[in-house]
Amino acid sequence: MIVKAAARPAGTGAPGYSETLPCRRESARRARLLVSAALSAWGVGELGCSGMQIVAELVNNSVNHTRSHAIRVVILREEGRVRIGVSDESQSVPVLGRPDDSSEDGRGILLVDALSTSWGYDRKPWGKVVWAELRIPNASSSEERSA
């Protein structure tokens, strides 16, 4: 019998889910499942398509542009928004590309930019975290203050 590990909420701080994954293309699938589980648990499953596409693009960027052995996927809910982040050990930061029509690469961050409310990166001594935020639809101002 194969047992799959379930996503577990973070023990402290804002509600969140996180998982460390191998820095391999196959990890995008697990990251999408983690995002889907978090969004469903928070009752904002309508953000699922965008959230899963965003995390897949961020994972693929780490796989394609770093030499990290592992990545960490973190999904947080705070102040009327969901933040999806992928960390790796590289100091190289993403750039919003302008690929031409014949280019096969360079559209990942363009897609993240189009799907998210905002995105960016935080440099860390050990690497970086690239993140994107999605606004929670119909979030009340009291929910935003208490999230």
Whether 101 is in a domain gets the answer yes
Whether 35 is in a domain gets the answer yes
Residue 3 has pLDDT above 90, yes or no: no
Please state, in angstroms and rounded to a whole number, the distance separating the CA atoms of residues 70 and 24: 8
Query: In the chain, how many domains are there?
Result: 1
Distances (CA, A) of 66 to 119, 122, 125, 131: 19, 16, 15, 16
Q: What average pLDDT does the structure give for the chain?
A: 85
Contacts of 2 (CB under 8 A, 6+ apart): none
pLDDT in tens, 38-64: 999 999 999 999 999 999 999 999 999
3-state SS class at 72: strand
Whether 40 is in a domain gets the answer yes
pLDDT in tens, 104-120: 565 688 999 999 999 99
Answer for the pair 115, 56: CB distance below 8 angstroms, yes or no: no
pLDDT at 120: 96
Q: State CA 89 to chain mean position distance.
A: 16
Residue 106's domain comprises 23-139
Whether 111 is in a domain gets the answer yes
What percent of the chain has pLDDT above 70? 79
Whether 146 is in a domain gets the answer no
Whether 15 is in a domain gets the answer no
pLDDT in tens, 6-24: 444 443 346 789 999 999 9
Of 80, 144, 143, residue with least CA distance to 117: 80
Q: What CATH number does the domain containing 45 carry? A: 3.30.565.10
At residue 122 the predicted structure's pLDDT band, cuts being 50, 70 and 90, is very high
pLDDT at 98: 72
Of 89, 86, 59, residue with least CA distance to 73: 86
At residue 4 the predicted structure's pLDDT band, cuts being 50, 70 and 90, is very low
Q: What is the DSSP letter of 44?
A: -
Whether 122 is in a domain gets the answer yes
Residue 145 has pLDDT above 50, yes or no: no
